Amino acid sequence: MPLDDAARLRAAADFVRRHDSDTLLPLLLPGLHGPELASVAANCRFAHVGLLVFPRDQRHLRDLLAVNGLAEDTPSCPSVVVRERLARRHRRDVAELDVRILRPRVHGPADEPRAVEVFALTVPAGSALEQVAAHERALDHEAHLAFALEHPDPLVLRGLCAVLTRLGARPDGGGYNPHENGTVLYFATPDTRCGYRRIELYAPGDHREALAAHTGGRPGADRPAETLLHLLTGAWTTQALAAFARLRLPEAMDVTAPSRTRELARRTATDPRSLATLLRYLAMLGVVSEAEHAEHTEAADGHGAFRLTDLGRLLRADAPDTMRPLALMYAGPFYGSFAALDHSVRTGRPAFDHLFGENHFDHFARDPELADLFDRSMAASSRMFGPLPDHPVITAAAQAPTPRTVVDVAGGNGELLGRILTAHPSLRGTLLERPHVIEAARRSLGSLGCGARCDYRSGTFADLPHGGDVYVLSRILHDWDDDRCREILRHCARAMGARADLLIVERLLPTDGSPSLATAWDLHMMCNVGGRERSAEHYARLLADAGLELLDRTPLPLEAHVLHARRAARPGAADAHGLPHGRGPAAGGSDSG
264 in Cβ contact with 291 (< 8 Å): no
CB within 8 A of 419, min separation 6: which ones? 382, 385, 386, 388, 389
Q: How far apart are CA 410 and CA 433, in angstroms?
A: 5
Strands ordered across the beta sheet of 428-433: 454-458, 428-433, 405-409, 470-474, 501-507, 560-567, 548-556
Q: How far apart are CA 105 and CA 48, in angstroms?
A: 9
Other C-beta atoms closer than 10 Å to the C-beta of 31 total 12
β partners of residue 195: none
Q: How far apart are CA 193 and CA 593, in angstroms?
A: 65
| Amino acid identity, position 207 | H
Residue 478 is among the residues annotated as catalytic for this protein: yes
Q: How far apart are CA 12 and CA 207, in angstroms?
A: 28
CB burial string 190-223: b at 16+ within 10 A, e below: eebeeebbbbbbbbebbbbbbbeebbeeebbeee
DSSP 469: S
DSSP 587: T
CA dihedral 422, 424, 425, 428 (to 10 degrees): -90
20 in Cβ contact with 112 (< 8 Å): yes
515 in Cβ contact with 154 (< 8 Å): yes
Q: How far apart are CA 160 and CA 44, in angstroms?
A: 9
- SS in 3 state form for 247-294? CCHHHHCCCCCCEEHHHHHHHHCCCHHHHHHHHHHHHHHCCEEECCCH
Q: How many helices (H) and strands (E) does the chain have?
A: 27, 19
Other C-beta atoms closer than 10 Å to the C-beta of 246 total 15
Other C-beta atoms closer than 10 Å to the C-beta of 141 total 16
User: How many angstroms separate the most distant Cα atoms in the chain?
Assistant: 88
Query: Of 207, 303, 360, 478, which is the active-site residue?
Result: 478
Classify the C-alpha dihedral 564-570-572-574 as positive or negative.
Answer: negative
CA dihedral 275, 279, 282, 286 (to 10 degrees): 160
Integer-rounded Cα Rg, in Å, for the chain is 27
Active site residues: 478
